[in-house]
Amino acid sequence: MESVIVFKNLSFSYGAFPVLENIELVIEKGEFIGVVGPNGGGKSTLLKIALGLLEPNSGSVTVLGRKASRGRDAIGYVPQRATAVRDFPISVEDTVLLGRLGSTRLIGGYRADDRAAAEVAMDEAQILDIRNRRIGTLSGGQFQRVLIARALAGEPQILMFDEPTANIDPHVEKSIFDLLRQLNKRMTIIVVSHDIGFISQYVTRVACLNKNLVCHKTSALTGETIEEIYGSDVHLIDHKHHLGPEPKS
């Protein structure tokens, strides 16, 4: 198998507060991996380090054999909370074209190949029929597909999602993950989620993260393991993580 992202003995702290400790993880080409754990367990921080947005205190991460900051052009990223203001007067198509900014020229507007890539991305995300609508008129599920299309427009080899279906109803959540399953046929996908029970239907491995990290193959997960991770009390599960319920916001 070909490794696409490699975390090696990686640790990170915000000031004196340790968030990640001795992380060892190899993500292979074509995997669909879920990252789960409690709030504050380091899930979003792990993605930001892989994107080269944060530097680890020790250890290393490589993306396609390169330093993360040089490999992030191969990653399409969908953040937990979109920075786009929903009432900003911009169309679906123009939002998706923003995904080309790292690939196109800086002056002179978008090129024909930029618009072609955006069209392919909208088609794959199943939003071509709403390409001219303003983003403020979209449902939560439609807007999430726009963000996925924006990430796809950069023609990445790897897709990263930070809670892609937060605050979306279960029916729409399933349709989004069905789309991710289709995309996984041609690219590596990494999804941060709080819902281990749901994502285990889709992912090949689950990385349980709470400062330290241990991976399970999906086939090794049981109802008991899920209950221990997200039960009403804090439990000690077989990989020695203390994972309890997420704090109420």
Residues 6+ apart with CB under 8 A from 134: 89, 90, 91, 92
Contact 218, 206 (CB under 8 A): yes
Q: What is the pLDDT of residue 232?
A: 41
**Residue 210 pLDDT:** 86
pLDDT of residue 221: 60
Phi, psi torsion values for 64, nearest 5 degrees: 55, 40
- pLDDT 10s digit of each residue in the chain, 249 long? 799 999 999 999 999 999 999 999 999 999 999 998 888 889 999 999 999 999 999 999 999 999 998 998 899 999 876 555 667 789 999 999 999 887 665 566 788 999 999 999 999 999 999 999 999 899 888 999 999 999 999 999 999 999 887 777 778 888 999 999 999 999 999 999 877 777 888 898 988 888 888 877 776 565 665 555 544 433 333 334 444 443 333
Q: Residue 237: how many CB atoms within 10 A of its CB?
A: 18
What is the CATH T-level fold of the domain 3-243, as seen in this structure? Rossmann fold (3.40.50)
Q: What are the extents of the domains in the chain? A: 3-243
In 3D, which of 28, 240, 40 has the Cα closest to residue 229? 240
